[in-house]
Amino acid sequence: MSDEHIPLNDFIEYSQDEMLARAQDNYQQVKRRHSIRKFSNRPVPQAIIEQCILAAGTAPNGANHQPWHFVAIKSPEIKAQIREQAEALEQAFYAGRAGEEWLDALKPLGTNASKPYLEHAPWLIAIFSQKRKEEQGEQKTNYYVHESVGIATGFLIQALHHAGLATLTHTPKPMSFLSKICGRDNDNERPYMLIIAGYPAEDATVPLHALDKKALDQICEFI
Ligand code: IYR
């Protein structure tokens, strides 16, 4: 592995006024990201998804091992299988496995076991984390896997939103069925999250509850 360094030559410096304007603009953009649960079946070109996954792959991560794998699913048959299995799990979840407190917390979102968007949306992106990486036939430990894959997933959601797509994060439990469906049922990889991406349906809604974000002084202090 090379230990060579090169000068940082793609950092762009802005004036502080520009920085503030950019930070304000970014906040205005990201606060318009909402998880939605009704997707249109309008197709979205694969080239857009490819750029978003490339962006996710630039996330900071442990020792640059990049401990992730993305499976971007557009096949109607595979989406139907995912819907069927996810709904079966969610039925058990909503029928009691979640427990009363959790179900109470979900009430304002209005979610239930029915997940038609898993078939309607043009893209489902399954993200897998990897415990080890193979380098020249050798198995190497990956570091900060959960943190790394979490940041990459955040980058992916942000990239999809920036491109103009709506998203939903989905984590049916247990997610092992995704490993099987995606052909990644091995000892090294774990399904991390499923991202649904596409255009919102015309009657897509956002729960009012989800717009209630904590104020700056509730989430931050300056010392
Ligand atoms: N996975 C379930 C339940 C669910 C859990 C949380 I925490 C949410 O923020 C939303 C839903 C479902 O998708 O319905």
Helix and strand element counts for the chain (H, E): 8, 6
Domain-located, residue 209 = no
- Of all protein residues, the one whose alpha carbon is nearest to atom 7 of ligand 1 is 106
Please enumerate in sequence order all residues whose Cβ is within 8 A of that of 122, keeping only pairs 6 or more positions apart, or say none.
Answer: 39, 41, 42, 43, 44, 74, 197, 198, 199
Domain-located, residue 3 = no
**171 with 124: CB under 8 angstroms?**
no
The per-residue pLDDT for 164 is: 98
What predicted TM-score, i.e. pTM, was given to this entire model?
0.97
Choice from 106, 177, 194, 206 to test ligand 1 binding pocket (greatest atom count within 8 A of CB):
106
Phi, psi for 221 (deg, rounded to 5):
-135, 155
User: How do residues 96-147 score in pLDDT, each as one tens digit?
Assistant: 999 999 999 999 999 999 999 999 999 999 999 999 998 889 999 999 999 9
How far apart are the CA of 154 and the centre of ligand 1, in A?
18
Domain-located, residue 222 = no
How far apart are the CA of 108 and the centre of ligand 1, in A?
11
- Of all protein residues, the one whose alpha carbon is nearest to atom 9 of ligand 1 is 106
The pLDDT mean for the chain works out to: 97
**Mean pLDDT calculated for residue range 171-183:** 95
**Would you call 156 helix, strand, or coil by DSSP?**
helix
Domain-located, residue 15 = no
**Mean pLDDT calculated for residue range 65-78:** 98
- Of all protein residues, the one whose alpha carbon is nearest to atom 5 of ligand 1 is 106
**CA angle (40, 42, 45) in 5-degree steps:** 130
Looking at the structure of the chain, the number of domains it has is 1
**Mean pLDDT calculated for residue range 143-160:** 98
Q: What is the DSSP letter of 107?
A: G
CATH code, domain with 98: 3.40.109.10
Q: Which two tokens stand for residue 156?
A: 């992916």
Domain-located, residue 74 = yes
Domain-located, residue 129 = yes
**pLDDT bracket for residue 194 (50, 70, 90):** very high
* CA–CA distance, 121 with 167 (Å, rounded to integer): 9
- Taking the CB of residue 119, how many other CB atoms lie within 10 A of it? 16
The per-residue pLDDT for 2 is: 86
User: How do residues 28-57 score in pLDDT, each as one tens digit?
Assistant: 999 999 999 999 999 999 999 999 999 999
On whether ipTM exceeds 0.90, the answer is: yes
Residues having CB closer than 6 A to ligand 1 are 90, 93, 106, 109, 111, 170-172
**32 with 157: CB under 8 angstroms?**
no
**pLDDT bracket for residue 1 (50, 70, 90):** confident
Q: Which of 41, 44, 63, 40 is nearest to 52 (CA)?
A: 44
Domain-located, residue 215 = no
Beta bridge partners of 167: 35, 197
Domain-located, residue 44 = yes
Query: Range of 99's domain?
Result: 36-202
